[in-house]
Chain A
Amino acid sequence: GQNIDQPTEMTATEGAIVQINCTYQTSGFNGLFWYQQHAGEAPTFLSYNVLDGLEEKGRFSSFLSRSKGYSYLLLKELQMKDSASYLCAVGEGYQKVTFGIGTKLQVIP
C-alpha cells in the first residue's frame, strides 16, 4: 500500500513562487506524477519524475528525492488561472498509480 501526504490548502500571491510538497511511502516505487485539476474537471498531466533531481518545464518544475520519499512541485510567476488542486500521484509496480488527496491552491491578486 501507499501513504501520500500533501498539504490540503495553500494560498499564494499572483506573480509569486509557490512550492507544494509531497511525501510518500511505497513499496515498488515506479515514478511520481503531478497533475493539475480544476474543480469539476479531469486532471491534466504536469510532470513525471522517476530519477532524483529537478525537472523543469516552463513555469512548472518538479523535484524528486527517492531516498527521502519526497517530491515538490514548484510554480513560478503565478497566474490567477493556476488556482486549482494539484495532485501528487505515485506509481507502484507496473501501471498502478495512487493519488494523494490534492493541494488546493488559491492564487490571490
Chain B
Amino acid sequence: GAVVSQHPSRVICKSGTSVKIECRSLDFQATTMFWYRQFPKQSLMLMATSNEGSKATYEQGVEKDKFLINHASLTLSTLTVTSAHPEDSSFYICSALYREKNTEAFFGQGTRLTVV
C-alpha cells in the first residue's frame, strides 16, 4: 500500500512555543490530507481537511489561528500548533487520500505531542 510519513513521531515542547508536524505522501500524490487528534481512550477526531493549494477547512470548535495547516504541494502538508498549552498534548495523526483510489485513506505514524 501507499506510504505516508509523519514527522516527528514524538515531541516535547515548552508551554507557549510552537511545534510543526509534517505529513508526506512518499509514493503517491495526495490532493487531500486530513488531520486528526486523538486523546487517550477516545476516538480520532477530525480537526481539518487540507486541500493542495487552498485554505484548509476546519471542523467546528477547532481554532484555525492556533492550528495552522499548510498544504503547499501534492506530497506535503504541515500542521503547526502555535502557542502550545498542556491541554494540546495529544496524539496527532494525518491521513492522505490516494488520488486514484479515493476510497482509501493512508495514515501517517502519528505524532505524540507533550506540552510541559
Residues of A whose CB lies within 8 Å of any CB of B are: 31, 33, 40-45, 48, 50, 87, 89, 95-102
Asked if B107 and A43 sit within 8 Å, CB to CB, the answer is yes
Asked if A95 and B97 sit within 8 Å, CB to CB, the answer is yes
Quote the shortest CB–CB distance from A57 to chain B (angstroms). 13
> How many chain-B residues does the 8 Å CB contact rule pick out?
24
- Indicate if B43 sits at the interface (CB-CB under 8 A): yes
Known contacts A41-B110, A42-B93, A45-B1; is A97 also within 8 Å of B105 by CB? yes
A99 to B106, CA, bound (A): 15
Asked if A87 and B44 sit within 8 Å, CB to CB, the answer is yes
Report the number of A-B residue pairs with Cβ-Cβ less than 8 Å: 48
- Contacts A/B (CB < 8 Å), 6 sampled: A42-B110, A45-B105, A95-B34, A96-B46, A97-B34, A101-B43
0/1 string, B84-116, CB within 8 A of A gives 1: 000000010100010000111111111010000
Chain A residues with CB below 8 A from B110, complex form: 40-42
A97 to B34, CA, bound (A): 9
B91 to A, closest residue via Cβ? A40
Chain B residues with CB below 8 A from A50, complex form: 103
Asked if B43 and A100 sit within 8 Å, CB to CB, the answer is yes
Asked if B43 and A102 sit within 8 Å, CB to CB, the answer is yes
A98 to B, closest residue via Cβ? B46
Asked if A45 and B46 sit within 8 Å, CB to CB, the answer is no
Contact of A31 among B1, B45, B91, B103 (CB under 8 A): B103
Chain A residues with CB below 8 A from B104, complex form: 45, 48
- Indicate if B49 sits at the interface (CB-CB under 8 A): yes
Chain A residues with CB below 8 A from B44, complex form: 43, 87, 89, 99
Question: Which residues between 1 and 46 of chain B lie within 8 Å of chain A, taking CB atoms?
Answer: 1, 6, 32, 34, 36, 42-46
Chain A residues with CB below 8 A from B36, complex form: 99
